[in-house]
Amino acid sequence: MKVVLTIAGSDSCGGAGIQADLKTFEAFGVFGASAITVLTAQNTTGVQSIFPLPVDFIKEQINSVLSDFDVAAIKIGMLYDTDIIRMVTELIDPLDIPIVLDPVCVSKAGSNLLKADAIDALRELSRIVTLSTPNLHEAYQLFGYKSGDTDSLQTLIAHPAPVLIKNHVINTISADLLYFGHQKRVFTSELIESTNQHGTGCSFSSAIAANLALGLGLEEAIDRSKHFITEAIRHAPSLGQGRGPINHKAGGCYVD
């Protein structure tokens, strides 16, 4: 069984963060290990409080897992501040395994999940990973990307690692755009109108990491993960008073 490590924050309502990552790993049949970066008090309506763990303790969690398991891939989520980002960058730089970065900046409910002075460190981290998966807001913060603006693509073309920009909406289609140098590929699926999208970004990136661990190529891993997310949204249980969580188990049932 392949082992995938998630380095991310904890979501007390269970729909995003570490909890969503572990559910996603299980849906794809890989074993999930975790290193928690921050604790959050949050629910489907927003984040009420954030408590970052000491950097040395986060580092101990990561080293503890890496020293014991043959980790096949890593997913990185909420890192919160510059010190945590730089420590993670230093630890993963020598590793020769797939690493997927979900550059968490703002929650879907509008809560800030990254300190303002940490964006440069996050941008540097995105240069050494296998793939970054920003949404449109995060892509603007990291790369100055604006959908439809050809001038803003120059930063992406010069970026040394692939970037998958999520959440483009084209009529009834949901489109994610993969950029790597001058190469571009569009991944599409049916657009499902739903307020149950809490944790979709976390789950999408962790699904890609799981599929890379299973030996799939990058584009095949993205395509399979997009299908997983679509079905997980379609069969969401409608929990909570805000943006409800998706159904990871149902999404896994529809993976070929």
Return per-residue pLDDT of the chain as tens, 256 residues. 999 999 999 999 999 999 999 999 999 999 999 999 999 999 999 999 999 999 999 999 999 999 999 999 999 999 999 999 999 999 999 999 999 999 998 766 666 789 999 999 999 999 999 999 999 999 999 999 988 787 778 888 899 999 999 989 988 999 999 999 889 999 999 999 899 999 999 999 999 999 999 999 999 999 999 999 999 999 999 999 999 999 999 877 767 6
Domain of residue 237: give its range: 3-146+194-253
In a domain, 186, yes or no: no
Return the CATH number at 101. 3.40.1190.20
In a domain, 168, yes or no: no
**CB-count exposure of residue 183 (10 Å: 0-12, 13-18, 19+):** exposed
In a domain, 131, yes or no: yes
In a domain, 14, yes or no: yes
Count of domains observed in the chain? 1
Structure tokens at 92: 């993963």
Q: In what order do the strands lie in the sheet with 173-180?
A: 46-52, 31-43, 3-11, 71-76, 99-101, 131-132, 163-170, 173-180, 183-190
In a domain, 236, yes or no: yes
In a domain, 177, yes or no: no
Q: In whole angstroms, give the CA distance from residue 239 to residue 46.
A: 14
In a domain, 84, yes or no: yes
Contact assessment for residue 246 and residue 234, using Cβ atoms and an 8 Å cutoff = no
Q: In whole angstroms, give the CA distance from residue 141 to residue 3.
A: 32
